[in-house]
Structure 1
């Protein structure tokens, strides 16, 4: 009996050893992104019909079967009460076949890219890497979503040159790549249970494969896997076209995405930042007017919207506000809400009640003979003061009256600067810093996002291996473990080097920072695999009890 027990224990031990093997050097899969593809006018993601093709043979994959769509043919998808109808046409638009698919399915082009017939993005036919998922809407039996699911690094190749002109240069494009990667991986930005982002300005502009360029691809590859971090977490790396020479803090720019509170709770890394230290705070009317009615030298000065003006006569502005305040009242940021244009009255005064440090209007009053309307939040203010149907480029704006001899005002002039919300990175500012000041993407990002470091996306290690790949701009890497949770041993595979770390000896504190620079390949893609501590001990019974171990690699 005793021999049988020993034999059984030995067999279990062998099984544990056989089941335990540290993965050898291999490039891991990156995070995946699901993109809701909108219509040609970017008005909706919902579809009643779409026609798909591939630059090579396409596989139409259901949960039970696969069917081929030959190159040169098109598959039109519609949906009805019995499922999806797939109608195949050849390149002469002659019908080849038609059949039903009952459940959601996918299009995959393994040796090419997928296209959407009659859809144009960035002036070119819309082509996409990855796969297309067709997902039906449960409450709308005739409608479905077209979702492009692909590797985040491939996704960025369709985003970065869509968001920033490639003429801005490599370092500016690298900064944009990191900011866009942060945005893509942030759980805050997930738009739907079906998809993470859409392909419009509502998320990030994504024009797909046909928008890719060699220099933008290089920028993405040379920042592969790198994100901006603050306090051991990824930041919300917001950006806009042109800050106007002075960025604004997060609180004064956005409302809380969940509670809609405005101003929003602050982000310590998104604070007001002048391009030059000589710029003083612009939170008074005189300071804001002096700054935005002139053109001081700044990082943003080459933007076509660095400075701008808009002019209305009194009757024109009254007509505009009667219309826009009704629409913007639905957001909750106009009080009292205007529901009928007859309740607006005669415009008497425009009064700014609060400005941010950048001079951005935080709140203002529209005074009429019938009421006083308070407007808050930069986007709402921009949309209230339209000219020729277009919103103001930014809320960095000062209003001045043209007054006649009798003291009555006839025209009102808006002096403004910048384009977009003006929080976080300014894209035109990044261009100037890169091209004129020869600054690196690291310097650019650390100017616009205060107190950050650059590194890999933090992961939580528990009972499964985790592998990450990242580009190393320098031969410098610090393994950061914010709280080791009394873990004593950690095993890493860094570029096929097995490294055993005794965390107990590394630090008596719960936070550990360990230099692993000597294992890093500078200017190359690096791969690291983290091994769960319980597997290091071959103690399989303890796996479920192990506390998650958060860690990341600080690179810059």
Structure 2
């Protein structure tokens, strides 16, 4: 995948500096891969502001529509099936879109003592020394010039960090990378477009507690990298992943923490492979003591997602939880999952997963909305979990009856949180605390995988 940059120019005198280093914030993203994250969908209007160097481009024509000032509020609105763009200085018009709020990188011109340009470069990163020869690149969050005595950051008033603040109905959050606004299903969709490593900075602390053991944080970083890269490779829509639990939770720049950023950086480019392909690394909060085969929880068999006991998952938050439903409450709960009952007369467990721990098939009997007998069988453990609104499908169910032997409710006792596939986050913490490295953790939860550098290339 390619990144496209529009560059601003800094003129640097060779009288003062012996060499120039310019490194755009997204340098290296082309090799790492780009992720498109849906932040908001089906909106009528959104506002945003930028910190750093950005420009707004009509992707349909490639035309630059505006160069927003730092902190300046810009508005995008749905207007007669087009995207209207406005700001405090102008109404820019309406467009078919998409509109891209794009990071503006840097170009450099090197002049000699007489003021004549001797070297000029447009690149995401470059280095030119005083006699015009290219030299090896450094790396930096911000563009910088370096002399023999010191390094000076070229911040442009933004501390070298480009961020877009997206304001939606809930709140304003800051995001690295670019922001794209497009029309989809009759509404506005906002998509954060950024390189995989910057994306992970906002995922890892949102998915796991930042004060947990560093090896657990690293395992989470690799699992999240795998999940996102596999989705980006196979996605055919306008975005690759959602920003919530539908995919994996992404909190943007404001969610970042030093410990999780370090975990991302120390595992940069590390992925898991199976058959020379990036695996889709499912993970969950707590296994409840056992993980499952993928085909028992969902439908498809995945060679590296296997059932196994999990003695490392120990916590006081997700074990021996209890849920009680009256039959009326059960009718409402099942209706929200698409199973419409007027009356429920019986509920039975039909089968368990291969580990013997989770309920795989559940049968419910009663009357349908028209008063006729209705029997529903719910297959696969995650469907059972979702239908009953439970933290996990690892549970025991006890039926409750009145004196006339009519079903009045159920009491459910269970353990775990999540689907139970792949890595348990609490289990990763437990393994890390026992001295295991992140590679050991990943190989335990993902059977037969190979851990590779440089994104598996």
| Pairwise TM-score range, normalised by the shorter structure | 0.7 to 0.9
| 226-235 or 354-363, larger mean C-alpha shift | 354-363
SS at match of 1:319: helix
**Residues 403/145 of structure 1: CA separation in 2 closer, same or farther (3 Å cut):** closer
1:229-248 → structure 2 map (5 Å cutoff)? 229-248=273-292
Equivalent residue number for residue 302 of structure 1: 315
Q: Which whole-Å deviations, capped at 9, do the CAs of 1:47-81 have from their partners, x for residues lacking one? A: 22110101235322231234221123100111324
1:456-475 → structure 2 map (5 Å cutoff)? 456=453, 469=454
Equivalent of 1:252, from 279, 296, 299? Answer: 296
How many angstroms apart in 2 are the aligned matches of 1:347 and 1:303? Answer: 35
Does residue 372 (structure 1) correspond to residue 375 (structure 2)? The answer is yes
SS at match of 1:168: coil
SS at match of 2:296: coil
Deviation, 1:356, is 3.2
Equivalent residue number for residue 438 of structure 1: 435
The answer (yes or no) to whether the contact 2:65–2:92 under 8 Å persists in 1 is no
Equivalent residue number for residue 135 of structure 1: 182
Equivalent residue number for residue 450 of structure 1: 447
1:192-271 → structure 2 map (5 Å cutoff)? 193-255=237-299, 264=300, 266-271=301-306
Does residue 170 (structure 1) correspond to residue 205 (structure 2)? The answer is no
1:328-343 → structure 2 map (5 Å cutoff)? 328-329=337-338, 338-339=339-340, 341-342=341-342
Does residue 107 (structure 1) correspond to residue 101 (structure 2)? The answer is yes
The answer (yes or no) to whether the contact 2:347–2:362 under 8 Å persists in 1 is no
SS at match of 1:186: helix
**Residues 248/173 of structure 1: CA separation in 2 closer, same or farther (3 Å cut):** same
Deviation, 1:307, is 2.4
Q: Which whole-Å deviations, capped at 9, do the CAs of 1:178-198 have from their partners, x for residues lacking one? A: 111111111488555211111
1:408-419 → structure 2 map (5 Å cutoff)? 412-419=410-417
SS at match of 1:374: strand
Scaled by the length of structure 2, the TM-score of the pair is 0.73
Deviation, 1:376, is 1.2
How many angstroms apart in 1 are the aligned matches of 2:288 and 2:167? Answer: 40
How many angstroms apart in 1 are the aligned matches of 2:330 and 2:408? Answer: 16
Equivalent of 2:32, from 30, 33, 56? Answer: 30
| 166-175 or 78-87, larger mean C-alpha shift | 78-87
SS at match of 2:294: coil
The answer (yes or no) to whether the contact 2:46–2:168 under 8 Å persists in 1 is no
SS at match of 1:145: strand
**Residues 412/47 of structure 1: CA separation in 2 closer, same or farther (3 Å cut):** closer
How many angstroms apart in 1 are the aligned matches of 2:408 and 2:164? Answer: 57
**Residues 119/373 of structure 1: CA separation in 2 closer, same or farther (3 Å cut):** closer
How many angstroms apart in 2 are the aligned matches of 1:429 and 1:135? Answer: 40
How many angstroms apart in 2 are the aligned matches of 1:69 and 1:213? Answer: 28
How many angstroms apart in 2 are the aligned matches of 1:190 and 1:115? Answer: 29
Does residue 161 (structure 1) correspond to residue 163 (structure 2)? The answer is no
Q: Which whole-Å deviations, capped at 9, do the CAs of 1:83-106 have from their partners, x for residues lacking one? A: 4322213xxxxxx42221434221
How many angstroms apart in 1 are the aligned matches of 2:246 and 2:92? Answer: 36
Deviation, 1:364, is 1.6
1:385-534 → structure 2 map (5 Å cutoff)? 385=388, 391-401=389-399, 412-435=410-433, 437-456=434-453, 469=454
Equivalent of 1:51, from 44, 47, 51? Answer: 47
The answer (yes or no) to whether the contact 1:189–1:197 under 8 Å persists in 2 is no
How many angstroms apart in 2 are the aligned matches of 1:82 and 1:362? Answer: 45
**Residues 76/399 of structure 1: CA separation in 2 closer, same or farther (3 Å cut):** same
Q: Which whole-Å deviations, capped at 9, do the CAs of 1:256-282 have from their partners, x for residues lacking one? A: xxxxxxxx2x2121110102xxxxxxx
**Residues 243/66 of structure 1: CA separation in 2 closer, same or farther (3 Å cut):** same
For structure 2, list consecutive stretches of 5 or more residues without a partner in the other structure: 1-26, 105-159, 368-372
**RCO higher in structure (CA 8 A, sep ≥6):** 2
The answer (yes or no) to whether the contact 1:160–1:177 under 8 Å persists in 2 is yes
**Residues 153/346 of structure 1: CA separation in 2 closer, same or farther (3 Å cut):** closer
**Residues 403/396 of structure 1: CA separation in 2 closer, same or farther (3 Å cut):** same
Larger C-alpha radius of gyration, 1 or 2? 1
Equivalent residue number for residue 72 of structure 2: 73
How many angstroms apart in 1 are the aligned matches of 2:67 and 2:374? Answer: 66
Equivalent of 2:384, from 381, 385, 389? Answer: 381
How many angstroms apart in 2 are the aligned matches of 1:150 and 1:451? Answer: 31
**Residues 354/84 of structure 1: CA separation in 2 closer, same or farther (3 Å cut):** closer
How many angstroms apart in 2 are the aligned matches of 1:65 and 1:438? Answer: 53
Q: Which whole-Å deviations, capped at 9, do the CAs of 1:338-363 have from their partners, x for residues lacking one? A: 54x33xx4523433333331511110
How many angstroms apart in 1 are the aligned matches of 2:400 and 2:33? Answer: 56
Higher strand share: 2
The answer (yes or no) to whether the contact 1:382–1:392 under 8 Å persists in 2 is yes
